Amino acid sequence: MAEPVRFQVVNPATGQPGRTYEGISGDEALAIARKARVRFETWRRTSFAERAEHMRAAAAVLRRRADEFAELMTEEMGKTLADGRAEVEKCAVGCDHFAEHAKRFLADQPVDMGGPKAKVVYRPLGTILAVMPWNFPFWQAFRFAAPTIMAGNTAVLKHASNVPGSALAIEEVFREAGFPDDVFRTVLVPSRDVKALIEDPAIAAVSLTGSVPAGKAVAAQAGAVLKKCVLELGGSDAYVVLDDVDVAKAAKVAAAARMVNAGQSCIAGKRFIVLASVREAFEQAMAAEMQGYAMGDPRAEGTKLGPLQAVKARDDVHDQVVRAVAAGARLLTGGEIPDRPGAWYPPTVLTDVAPGNPAFDEEVFGPVAAIVEAQDEAEAIRLANTSEFGLGSGVLTGDAARGERIASDGLEAGMSFVNTNVRSDARLPFGGVKHSGYGRELAAFGIHEFVNIKSVLVATETLAHSGPE
C-alpha cells in the first residue's frame, strides 16, 4: 500500500496556505476499516433507544460547536460563516430526525400469506464506506452517517482531500457524543487508496457523492466485488419558467437556486428554460438578481458570495464561460476574473444558450446561470430533459396545479420542486436518475439502502418432537 500523504489546506479567499494534516497509510486505513467491522458485531445488537440517545447527543455537540465548525469550513473551502452555521444546524436536525424515526422506518412488516406467519425485517449490512465531496463538508457526511448508523451499521469516511480538518472534526463529534469506539471513523487517505478499501472484506457497501467519473470508478470497483453502492453524482438542473409567472418573483427564486453555496452544488439550478413571451423580461430580472450577490469576505456577516473552493476550480468555470460565449451564448453580466488573490468569480448570466453549448451540456460548478428560450411548454420540458443528468429540477409558474403536473410527470429527475429551489431535507428521498446516479439518501428510502431487506416465513406446521416412540 502507498505511504501516507500530507493534506495541505489552502484558503480560497486569499490563496494562502493554511494548516497541514498528516494522512495515514493505506494499510492503516484498512486496519481502521477492520476495527469498524469488528465493532459492528456489537453495535448491530444495540437497541434503537441506545443508538438514538447517542445520535441526539451528536446533534447537541454540533449545535454547541457550530461557530467552530463554520469557521473550519470557511478556512478549508470558502463557505460563508452564515452558510456554515446553517449547514451545521441542518446536520443536527438530520441527527434528531433519524434518532426519532429510525425505529419506525425499520420496524418489522407483517405480510399476509393466508396461513404461514410471514414478515419482512430490516437488518444492518456491516461497515459502510462513504466517499464524500468538499462542497457541503459536514452535511454530506451526516446525511449518510445518521441513517446508516441508526440502522445498526458502522461507518468509515474517506472525505475530500481539501477538507481534512472537517473530516477529523466529524469523527470528533461522534466520539464526543459517546458512540463506542470505531462506530464512525475517518481515514485521511488519497483517492488512490479507495479501491483497496472497497475490495477489503471489512467493507460491506459504498456510498459516494461526487463527479460522474468518480461515480463510474467506484461503481466498477464495487461491482467487481459484488458490493452495493449508492451514487449521488453531478447535475445540470433545469428550471422551467412558464409564461404565467410573475417574472420578478421567478427571477428571485431562480437566482437563489443558482447561487446556493456560490453555485457549487449538484442541485443548484443551472439551466433556466424560459418561454419566449417572458424571456426578455426574465433576462433583465435575472441579471439584476444575480448582481445582488456581491462578492465579499466569507467571514463577514451579510456576505452573499464568497470565493469558489480553489483557483483551479474557478479557472475551470471561467473556461466554460469563455467556451460558451465562443459557441454563441451572450453574456449579460459577470464573466470576468477579478484582479485579486484567491478563487473569486462574479455572478454570471449567459443567454442564447442551446443544446451543444458548454453551458447547456456540461455541469458548471460555480455562479453561472444559463438562460435557454423555449417556444411553448412542450419544448421547455423537452429541453429540460435534454441532458445526461437527472438530479433536481424545478417549475416556476403562476398555476400551482400546472407546475405540479409538469414536476410529477414531465421532468426526468429524482427531485422536482415547484416555485421554490431544490434542496435536500431529511424527510424527503434525495437522489437522481441517468448520469446523476442511483439509489437514494435520506427519509425511509435512504435508511433502507444499507440494510438487508429480509423475508422471514414461519410455517403453520410445527416440527416439534411428538414424544417417546
- Which band of pLDDT confidence, cut at 50, 70 and 90, is reported for residue 465? confident
Cβ atoms of residues 92 and 63 within 8 Å: yes
Question: Do 336 and 218 belong together in one domain?
Answer: no
Question: Do 245 and 377 belong together in one domain?
Answer: yes
Domain assignment present for residue 144? The answer is yes
CATH code, domain carrying 35? 3.40.605.10
Distances (CA, A) of 328 to 30, 282, 323, 335, 379: 51, 19, 9, 14, 20
Domain assignment present for residue 392? The answer is yes
1 pLDDT higher than 60? no
- pTM for the whole thing? 0.97
Domain assignment present for residue 202? The answer is yes
Question: Do 31 and 164 belong together in one domain?
Answer: yes
Neighbours of 17 (CB within 10 A): 10
For position 3, what pLDDT does the model report? 75
Domain assignment present for residue 465? The answer is no
Domain assignment present for residue 423? The answer is no
CATH code, domain carrying 287? 3.40.309.10
Q: What is the pLDDT of residues 273-293, one digit of tens each?
A: 999 999 999 999 999 999 999
End-to-end CA distance of the chain: 64
For position 158, what pLDDT does the model report? 98
Name the catalytic one among 266, 283, 362, 363.
266
Name the catalytic one among 232, 283, 289, 362.
232
**Structural domain range at position 212:** 6-233+436-456
Question: Do 246 and 213 belong together in one domain?
Answer: no
Instruction: Read off the C-alpha cell for 322.
Output: 469563455
Q: Let me know if 289 is a catalytic residue.
A: no
φ/ψ of 405, rounded to 5, equals -60, -45
Domain assignment present for residue 462? The answer is no
- Annotate 85-97 with three-state secondary structure: HHHHHHHHHHHHH
Neighbours of 112 (CB within 10 A): 8
Question: Do 189 and 277 belong together in one domain?
Answer: no
Question: Do 155 and 297 belong together in one domain?
Answer: no
Q: Let me know if 266 is a catalytic residue.
A: yes
What is the mean pLDDT of the segment spanning 326-354? Answer: 98
**β-strands 237-241, 269-275: how paired?**
parallel
Question: Do 241 and 180 belong together in one domain?
Answer: no
Question: Do 253 and 229 belong together in one domain?
Answer: no
Domain assignment present for residue 469? The answer is no
What is the mean pLDDT of the segment spanning 24-46? Answer: 98
Domain count, the chain: 2
Q: What is the pLDDT of residues 211-242, one digit of tens each?
A: 999 999 999 999 999 999 999 999 999 999 99
Question: Do 408 and 446 belong together in one domain?
Answer: no
Question: Do 170 and 229 belong together in one domain?
Answer: yes
Question: Do 300 and 210 belong together in one domain?
Answer: no
Question: Do 141 and 178 belong together in one domain?
Answer: yes
Q: What is the pLDDT of residues 396-436, one digit of tens each?
A: 999 999 999 999 999 999 999 999 999 999 999 999 999 99
Q: What is the pLDDT of residues 346-387, one digit of tens each?
A: 999 999 999 999 999 999 999 999 999 999 999 999 999 999
